[in-house]
Amino acid sequence: MAAFVARYHLLIVKLLIAITGASGAIYAQRLLDRIDTTQHELHVVLSNYAHAVIKEELGAPLNYPEGGHVHGNKSMHVPFASGSNPIDVMIVIPCSMGTLGRIAHGVSDDLILRSADVILKERRKLILIPRETPLNLLHIKNMELLFLAGATILPANPSYYARPKTIEELADTVVARVLDHAGITHTISPRWQQETE
């Protein structure tokens, strides 16, 4: 029984989803819809401006999976704000350029920024989903800093080869790649297949 419990705990991903005020709230919602909280430990933090963007773009508050934990961005009284108890994977979706720049330069004056700082220093997985165009030189340099520090930069660039028919299906093409990089299994969309003879 102890061996089974130990193996089961290895499957659990301690996951933090941070949502900023960049456009693209649908990506955050579709990701939340795909997290099974019976299999993974889920924590969610929203930036101050994220609430306004979510209301504008989705017309309603986010729908959180039952069993997830939502934290205030100004609180540091959570275990993962310390390197002694880090999250396994942190996903910032969508990631504003302001948040990306502050993470790149080590600013950590709220929970999202502090958590990203902890993830990087503890060599855990930080996945940033920027949704901005065009990019200026500062954006690119900040992405370079984060890439060199170990973060994954995964822009919200949907794919079309599966011929998505709805906005939700289009958003899911990005969410599928996010889950791939987070190490969370899914069956969202078909994989690119080897050409048949």
CATH code at 22-133+144-182: 3.40.50.1950
Query: From its phi and psi, is residue 50 left (phi > 0), alpha (psi between -120 and 50) or beta?
Result: alpha
What was the pLDDT predicted at 157? 96
Domain definitions of the chain by residue range: 22-133+144-182
Tens-of-pLDDT digits for all 197 residues of the chain? 555 444 444 468 999 999 999 999 999 999 999 999 999 999 999 999 999 999 999 999 999 999 999 999 999 999 999 999 999 999 999 999 999 999 999 999 999 999 999 999 999 999 999 999 999 999 999 999 999 999 999 999 999 988 999 999 999 999 999 999 999 988 887 677 656 65
Which strand ranges, in their side-by-side order, compose the sheet holding 152-153? 69-71, 41-46, 14-19, 89-95, 125-130, 152-153
| Amino acid making up residue 177 | R
pLDDT value at residue 11: 60
Predicted local distance difference test score (pLDDT) of residue 12: 85
